[in-house]
Chains A and B, each alone.
Chain A
C-alpha cells in the first residue's frame, strides 16, 4: 500500500530548510537595503518618479495659467468654440465667436511682396482658453493665418508617455541595472568582502543558501521597484483633476494598467534577478555579463523567433498594457525596436519568464555546489 502523504522526515527537512531560508533572508535584507554600495539603486529607481513629478508640476503650472486665462476671457468657451476658428477668418469674426482675446500681442513685420518690394504687415496673436486647452490664433493684416490648439490634459497621450518611460527607461535600464547591482553582489559581494565562508560553514545545503539569497534579492528589488512604480503612478496622476483621475482609473483601465505594471515589474525582477544571480557566480568581472545581457536584451526584436524566447524583455513587452505607436517617419530599426511584432499571450509570457528564471536558477544551483572559498584568487 502506498501513501501520497510526505514522510515526517521530509516534512521535518522542509521545515528546517524554510527556517534556514528565512535566516538567510533576514541577514541579506539588512545588507541589501543598507549597503552603501547599493545607494545608486535607490537613485535609479527614483529617477522616473522625479521625471513624472517634474512633468506633473510643469503640467499643473500650465493648467493653472490656462484656467486663469479662461477666467479673464469675455466669454466662457467650450472646446467646440476653439475648433470653430478657421484660417482665413477676419479678426472681427474671431472676436465675434470667441470674444475679445484675454491675451493678445501685435507687432509689425516687413514681408517681401516681390523683387525689392516689401510691405509692412500688422501681425497679431490671440491666445484663448477653455480652461483646459489653449488656442493660439496667428493673424496677418486682420486675417487668420494659422491656428494652433494645444490640448491640455490628454490622458491617452499621457498614458503612452508613461508606457514609453516604463518600457524604455524603467524596465530596460532601472530594473535591469538595479537587479544587476543587487543579484550579482549576493555571492560576489561576499567573496570580495571575504565573508562568504560564514554561510558555507553552516550545516545548510548550498541550494538552500542560494534560494535564500535569491529570495532576499527578489524581495529587495521588488520592494524598491514596486514602490518606485507606485510612486510613478501617483506622480503621473498628480496633475489630473479628481474627476479626470476617477475617469482614468475606473473607466479608462488606469487601475488595471497600474496593477499590470506592478506585475510586470515583479516579473522583471524575477527574470533579471535569476540571470544576474548565475552571472555573478560564473564571472569575476560583472561588466562582461552585464554588457552581454544588455546587448542580448536590446537586440531581441532582431533575433529569430526561437532565440527571442531566451530573453526576459521578449515576455515583458508582451505583458505591457499600452502599446507604443510608431509615429510616421520613424526609422525602420527604431520602429522595430518600439513595436512588438511577435507578441505572446499573457499566460505564455508569465510562464515563459518563470521558465527562463527556473533555468537560470538551476544553473545557479549547479554552480553554487561547485563554489570554493579561495579569496586569494579574487
Chain B
C-alpha cells in the first residue's frame, strides 16, 4: 500500500502547475521574483544562465524551499504537503549526495519503502526504474563508487520510480554520454506523450530546442519569456525575423528582395545557394515573396525552401538574455 492521493484542493486549476506572484529571497539575495506561470502538460524547459533562478524555481515547485511571497500549486496540490505532492511528483535534484553505504538498488528500494510501498512492490518498482535508466549491471554496487553519469541516472531512476504525473528534472543530462543522453531524451518524450508534466532545467540549448514543447526563459530571478518557442520568438518585436531562402541565383533574388519595403537586410548565404533575409513584418514579407516567386519563376530563380532561421531557443535566448554562460 502506498500513500493514497486525495483529490486536488483546487479543481479548476488542477490541470496545471501554477505560480502566482511568487518571490523567493535568501536573506537579501534574490532567488526569483514575481513569477507568474501556468505550466501545461508536455516538456517544459527552464532556460537561463547560472544563478538565473532555475533551481530555485524547481525547489519551490517541489516544496524544498518555501516562497517568501505568492502561491504555488502543482496540479491543485499545495507544495507544503509532501505526502500528497510527492505521490504525484518525482524530482531529480542537482544535489550530488546520497545516504551513505547504499547500493543503487538499496537507494531506490529505500525510497520506495519510505513512500509507503510494501517490500515486494518496492523491489519490483525499484528494478523497473533501474531497467528504465539502464543501470542493471551496477545496481548492486555501492553508489559511492558510481561515475558522475551513473549517479545522474540513479537520481533519474528515483524521480521515475513511482511513475509520477509530474517529473521535475534539474540538469538531467549533465554527465551523461551521448548515447545515454538520447536514451534519456526518449524517456522524457515518452513520459510527455503519456500526458506527464516534464519540467527540465538545462543550459544546453540545442537539446532544449530538440525536446521542449515550451520554454521558460529566466534571467536574474525574473521570467523573461514563456510559451512555445515560435510564439515567444514572434513576440520579440524589436528583433527582425530572419528567414533563410534556399534558391538558385541567390544574388538576383537578393536584389529583387531589397526592393521590397518589408526587407531590412539581405545576406548571401556563404555556400552561395541561398539568401538570409531580415524583416520586421514576416507576414507581409511572405506575401511579397509569393508574388516575387510567381513573377520570377520564368527568369531562372527557383525557390527550393523557405524556413525561419531564428525561431529556435538559441536565438530567442540570445535576443532576450544575451551571450551568457550557455552551451550551444
Q: Which residues of chain A have a CB within 8 Å of any CB of chain B?
A: 9, 12-13, 15-16, 19-20, 23-24, 26-27, 30-31, 34, 193-195, 197-206, 208, 369-370, 372-375, 377
Of A31, A197, A203, A369, most B-chain CB atoms within 10 Å: A203
Q: Does A205 lie within 8 Å of B83, measured CB to CB? A: yes
Which of A15, A198, A206, A373 lies in contact with B99, CB distance below 8 A? A198
Residue pair A16, B1 in contact (C-beta under 8 Å): yes
Q: Which residues from B are CB-within-8-Å of A204? A: 3, 82-83, 86, 114-116
Q: Quick one: which of A26, A198, A203, A206 contacts B3, CB cutoff 8 A?
A: A203
Q: Answer whether residue B2 sits at the interface, using C-beta atoms and an 8 A cutoff.
A: yes
Separation of A195 and B107 alpha carbons in the complex (Å): 12
Residue B66 lies at the interface, judged by CB distance under 8 Å to chain A: yes
Query: Interface residues of A: mostly helix, strand, loop or mixed?
Result: helix
Task: Give the distance in Å from the alpha carbon of A321 to the alpha carbon of B4 in the complex.
Answer: 49
The answer to whether B185 has its CB under 8 Å from any CB of chain A is no
Q: Please, could you name 28 A-B residue pairs with CB atoms under 8 Å apart, sorted by A?
A: A16-B1, A16-B3, A19-B116, A20-B116, A23-B110, A27-B99, A34-B101, A193-B100, A195-B97, A197-B93, A198-B98, A198-B111, A200-B82, A201-B62, A201-B91, A201-B93, A202-B114, A203-B2, A203-B85, A203-B87, A203-B115, A203-B162, A205-B82, A206-B82, A208-B83, A372-B66, A373-B64, A373-B95
Further contacts, 16 of them, CB under 8 A, given A203-B84, A203-B86, A374-B65: A15-B1, A16-B1, A16-B3, A19-B1, A20-B113, A23-B110, A34-B101, A194-B97, A195-B97, A195-B100, A198-B98, A199-B114, A201-B62, A373-B59, A373-B64, A373-B65
Nearest B residue to A194 via CB reads B97
Residues on the B chain within 8 Å of A208, using CB:
83
Main secondary structure of the interface of B (DSSP, over half): loop
Chain B residues near A31 (CB-CB < 8 A): 99-101
B158 within 8 Å of A (CB atoms): yes
Q: CB < 8 Å: which of A26, A202, A369 contacts B80?
A: A369
User: How many Å from the CB of A365 to the closest CB on chain B?
Assistant: 14
CA distance A22 to B65 in the complex (A): 26
CB distance from B122 to the nearest CB of A (A): 9
> Are B98 and A203 in contact, with the CB atoms below 8 A?
no
